[in-house]
A and B are shown apart, each in its own frame.
Chain A
Amino acid sequence: MLPVIAWGVGWIVTAVIGGIGVGLAGAVLYQLVMNKWKGKRVAVLGARAVGKTTFLSFLTTGSIPENYEETLYSTECDGRRFQLKDLQLRIKDSFDVGGAKHNICEEWKNEFIESDIVFYLLRADLLMNDDSDTVNRVRSDFNIIKDWVDELEVKERPTFYIIGTHCDLDILYSKLPEKNKAAYIDKFQLLPIIVDLRCLGGVDKVILGSMKTLEYTEALVYAIFKQVTL
């Protein structure tokens, strides 16, 4: 009788453990599917008037604002399934944050830590012309961002992109034929500030373009998303 009871208990224990295992595996799989379905949360950071609102507006609505207004406070933008040509990416609800320095400490940090992908926008035209205000601001931002990167575990760190905007305002860039634009990008990548930023670690890609018109914005975002969705 005793061996039968032991055999029965053994089976019950095995079944319970097996059940828990299957349940856990199911939960993990469900989470993976949910994460894929929910999509990516993006953070768009950068100094004042670099194009953060235009960029986020394009990602979340497919259009660029007609009437520009300075972003003085954080505004929520609804997520959506972003589709451009052959690329698509599901974007979660995100916040459009202001570029003023007093927003960095709290608002930027929140966005940085919560996001899967961070786009840091900067004025490429001004950096190429060695504008000291822009260089100082970018350097100061990155010193702060570096601390946040260090605070996070490697797997928690968002993918980090530097997006150089306003290239159309640089005569050097606008005069170049499309096939020769790579030379401009190479020159940009060799700027001391960009080399320094890459040395700080965490920067995954540097992409340049313009958001002067919807067409330019589409081209820039397409170039970015070709990298993101790879």
Chain B
Amino acid sequence: MKNGKLVILAQALDNVSPDPIEFNGKLLPDDDDEMRNVAASFVNTVTRNGEPVFDEDRVRLTAYEDAFVIVLPSVERDSRNRIAPILCYSSYNASEDEGFHDSIVDSLVDFAKKIERNIDPMHIKLMRESLLIFKKKTLKQKHTRVFTTLGIIVAVIVLLLLLVCVRFWKI
């Protein structure tokens, strides 16, 4: 990630220790409540307002505008034998398209290693697939917005020209 924000978090497996949260590549200290709340706020904005884009075998991607939250299960289970996923928040910027997938996937895999978790390669594959779908969707929305704006501008210009012509013809 060059400019965008990147949040990766998981829940502590013992359900008692502080949850590991990484913000732009830095693991947040346990007592940094301010930054932890900021990171949570980014995630919640997407999950509360966004729409599901991908959901397969517990790999889920939710998107809100150009931001997304992806959740994928780790192999490990928590102290209550629950599935313990890892969550990643980021955004897509078309001008930084090169290496978008790899950058997100690498960051998540690194985080998983740091907190001693493993991810099934199948889930990594699904994660790449979901990111691709999200990227296409975001680009399509962006193109639609650009063409709609262009269309409106052209329509206004044509209308103005018509008005000028009518006025000129009348004179």
Contacts and interface: CB of A to CB of B under 8 A. Distances in A.
A100 B19 contact: yes
B78 A73 contact: no
Given A102-B21, A105-B37, A70 B83 contact: yes
B83 A68 contact: yes
Contact of A75 (B10, B16, B47): B47
Nearest to A134: B16
Contact of A69 (B18, B33, B43, B82): B82
A70 B11 contact: yes
Contacts of A101: 18-19, 33, 36
B37 A70 contact: no
B85 A49 contact: no
Interface residues on A, range: 20 to 34
B16 A133 contact: yes
Contacts of A68: 80-83
B47 A49 contact: no
Contacts of A102: 19, 21, 33, 36-37, 39-40
A49 B15 contact: yes
B27 to A, nearest CB: 14
A227 interface: no
Interface string A15-36: 0000000000000000000000
Contacts of B44: 73-74, 103, 106-107
Interface string B1-35: 00000000111100110110100000000000100
A48 interface: yes
Contacts of A49: 15, 78-80, 82
25 contacts: A47-B15, A49-B79, A67-B83, A68-B80, A68-B83, A69-B58, A69-B85, A70-B85, A72-B9, A72-B43, A72-B87, A73-B87, A74-B47, A95-B48, A98-B11, A100-B11, A100-B40, A101-B36, A102-B21, A102-B33, A102-B40, A103-B44, A106-B40, A106-B41, A107-B44
